[in-house]
Amino acid sequence: MEYKVKKRNGEIVKNNSGQNDMLDILYKTIGGNIALKGLTSPVVSKAAGAFCNSFLSTKMIPTFIKKADIDLREYEPGLYGSFNEFFTRKIKPEARPVDKTPEAVVSPCDSKLTVYKIDKDSIFEIKGVSYHVEEFLRCRKLAKKYENGYFCIFRLEVSDYHRYIYFDDGTKSANRHINGFYHTVNPVALEKTDIYRENTREYTVLHTDNFGDVIHAEVGAMLVGKINNFHQKHTFKRGDEKGMFEYGGSTVVLIFKENTVEFDDDIMKNTTEGFETVVKMGEKIGKKKENK
């Protein structure tokens, strides 16, 4: 399956056909389905994680840099004792400037973004699969507060920078962790399994200065996709690091209440037309809605 991605300037991004071919085999064939049951289990995920944390995994780094076309000049220099040390490397602050305008909504990470309006029944659709906010959060009372708001999906590919930030000033509640299976967040998987109900995920409520209470969630993905949040209850500033994913494509989700934000026209238009939009960490993607 091919999925459509655009840059902010309207340029269409070429698909990673090699990755898609592998996913087609896993999710669309009998043999692939059998393998998938093993690959998405926590045991296999932990084993893969142990390898990625070992010195042996450093041999993967040069090939990964070449295939992912990573510009190392953007990142802080360092010696890496494992592939995960490289994968979670820090970017230079000047390479990802954070828009400090209080009214600006900024992206919490490098990703491919889609933004969906939550209807009166708290149901939204992603690539042909319907989701309830209540099922995602496993909390009816909390989901009720976000009716008619926005559900923002920031899909990270393995080539993306895998650290994420707080998008505004504020305080946060403790994290809620929901166990599940690790599936890829590539849209191919959406045809076979509802990953946002089955994947391991973690979320918290951010009590932000400019946008009210916003839910920030992380979704782990195959093969590892380990979620590493740095804080439980915490006071934060816009641009502070919130956490990181270890190896694996992963997803960040922001859920806004009704009448709190307006997203940029190109992002909304792209979503309507079935495109994801490439965004960078700290980049403006919308603004605070002025309620008259």
Catalytic residue positions, numbered: 110, 250
- List the structure tokens of 18: 């090699």
Query: Which helix (H) or strand (E) covers residue 18, if one does?
Result: helix 17-28
Separation of CA 213 from chain center: 19
- CA dist., res. 50 & res. 75, Å (int): 24
Residues β-bridged to residue 153: 114, 253
- List the structure tokens of 42: 């926590």
Cα of first residue to Cα of last residue in the chain, in angstroms, is: 44
Separation of CA 237 from chain center: 20
- CA dist., res. 195 & res. 183, Å (int): 6
Task: Say which residues have a Cβ less than 8 Å from residue 268's Cβ, sequence separation at least 6.
Answer: 115
Please state, in angstroms and as integers, the Cα–Cα distance from residue 135 to each residue in 57, 175, 279, following that order. 37, 17, 27
Separation of CA 220 from chain center: 9
- CA dist., res. 160 & res. 88, Å (int): 10
Q: By three-state DSSP, how is residue 218 classified?
A: strand
* Burial of residue 254, with CB atoms counted within 10 A of its CB: 0-12 exposed, 13-18 middle, 19 or more buried: buried
